[in-house]
Chains A and B, each alone.
Chain A
Amino acid sequence: MGWNKVAIVGVGIIKFGELFDKDWEVMVEEAYLNTINNVDKGFDPKDIQAAWIADCRPGAHGTQTIAGVSLVGNIGLAGIPCTHIENGCPTGSDGFRNACLGVASGVYDVALVLGAEKMRDKSTAEMLSLAAQGHPVLQRGETAMTMFAPQAMRHMHEFGTTKEQMAMVAVKNHKNGVYDPYSHYRYEITIEDVFKSPMVCSPLNLLDCCPQTDGAAAAIICRADLAEKYTDKPVYVAGFGMGTDTFYVHEKEDFTEFVASVRAAKQAYSMAGIEPKDIDVAEVHDCFSITEIINYEDLGFCKKGEGGKFIEQGKSDLDGEVAVNPSGGLMSKGHPLGATGIAQIAELFWQLREDVRNSNGAGDPGVNEKRQVKIRKGYGLQHNVGGRGISNSVVTILTRNK
């Protein structure tokens, strides 16, 4: 029996991609409408008592001074409290965690959490430069890749993890993404394609990396005992955790794990009262191929050092021990920082209800058998890791078990 004080009753996301034709407000409105219009028993927006907006880099797309009200003001909810959350790569999932705390406190019965991010309004070089902001000793060529690629090098050095195994993560996630109508990329790739793609930051080729993607996603949560007003198939929040680590990458003792993830997962499993083997389906942070391999170990899906074998043996495939990233993951679906964690939660909501659809339109005839995971124990796990120095992580465990 998990924590289960909060239930998710509706989710919605927009098609991720290079959305030059949609400004931030349009993305927000579309994700919101997709959410409230897909609540099983209908939803009256007046029920929303508080909102959280997750947006990591509003400064990069010009909404920095209006971030909180830019959500409620754009969806006809001006008047209710709205808090802006920024927390690196786990921005979306931490927004969700904070909204859960708001509802569980008893102050609010129903809350909206919405994440949105514009990642393509700036050039790649400018976005790379954003990562280098901070202490002068780090403004010397640091990028997101110089945090993760050296981890790959060390994991290969200590455990014999191979470039092929890393490429298998990209191949698997792109294959899953073909069947996700919201995914930025919807094509299959091969290991050879990964090797032939341009080297971005050795040992990571272009196809070892997630793309720069615009997107938005939302969820409506409520007190668990009120869920039946909105749906007969709610998904409960069984547990969550947030872990932090040292501010600088160079202060980490071990470059083969993400301590923040280990800490977040420990809290979440404890709160949910379950073990890693109880997870049917997981949406984890595959910003780079090596990240997913390390995640398998940090989240307890396999022993330390065995992440490479885990992917190679197909244990994270849709029909494996634990289906990892059925949505296509960050690598295929994209990684709009504020939206990413909430989009992962949306995918788990559909997966746990065994209600994964072929399209995002209303009236879709049936379940998408290609992407739907077989749900056995009823638990799904969401995970993000990142922030300055890979120093924060959020893990959320969802369940359909009341």
Chain B
Amino acid sequence: MTTDNNALRVDTIGNLIDPKLKPFIKLPESPSEKPHLIGSKCSSCGEYFFPKRAICPNCLKDEKPEDILLDNKGKLYTYCIVKAAPLGFDAPYAIGYVDIPEGLRIFSPLTECDKGKIKIGMDLELIVDKIREDEAGQAVYGYKFKPVSL
């Protein structure tokens, strides 16, 4: 199920986002904006990280890595389609590893799980969508990647 991305602005969707994910995603504040993941960049060695880090594990310098909005487009490095799901998740769903221009690879559900339509190397963009249901059956939202061509 893919929801209209324009409707998912911070005022309407903010309460539905998994609270634990909030530090890692910037929601759109107007219809013209897109969601972005929040990563970090080490001010010393320039390395990017997602999820963000309090200390750069690369150079271990004192400066705290700065929060940075990551590119919301990427290419699919590899994927799988899950048919046996953990509690709270509806199968089937697709999981992808998405390479973004900062040189990072992002673990993320994909909106599309039709094996014929998903291809390694395809262009993807970040959206906000339903991820799972909590124990009370309430929809929990988070980020996913969606094929650009679909």
Contacts and interface: CB of A to CB of B under 8 A. Distances in A.
Contacts of B28: none
Contacts of A153: 78-80, 120
Interface string B74-114: 00011111111111110001011100000011111100000
B51 interface: yes
A38 B89 CA distance: 48
B21 A142 contact: no
Interface in B117-147: 120, 131-132, 142
A156 to B, nearest CB: 9
Interface residues of B, number: 34
Interface in A188-224: 198-204
Interface residues of A, number: 38
A395 interface: no
Given A140-B132, A250-B107, A255-B78, A128 B85 contact: yes
Contacts, number: 103
Contacts of A200: 83-84
A135 B53 CA distance: 12
Contact of A143 (B18, B81, B84): B84
Nearest to A389: B107
Given A157-B120, A249-B97, A138 B107 contact: yes
A249 B84 CA distance: 20
B80 A132 contact: no
A129 B86 contact: yes
B78 A151 contact: yes
A149 interface: yes
A44 interface: no
A296 B124 CA distance: 33
A129 B120 contact: no
A141 B82 contact: yes
Contacts of A141: 82, 85-86, 89, 93, 95, 109, 131-132
Contacts of A139: 18, 20
A140 B87 contact: no
Contacts of A159: none
A157 B80 contact: no
Contact of B80 (A124, A149, A251): A149
B95 A124 contact: no
> Which 8 pairs, one residue from A and one from B, show the smallest C-beta to C-beta distance?
A149-B80, A136-B20, A202-B81, A128-B86, A129-B86, A150-B78, A154-B78, A250-B107
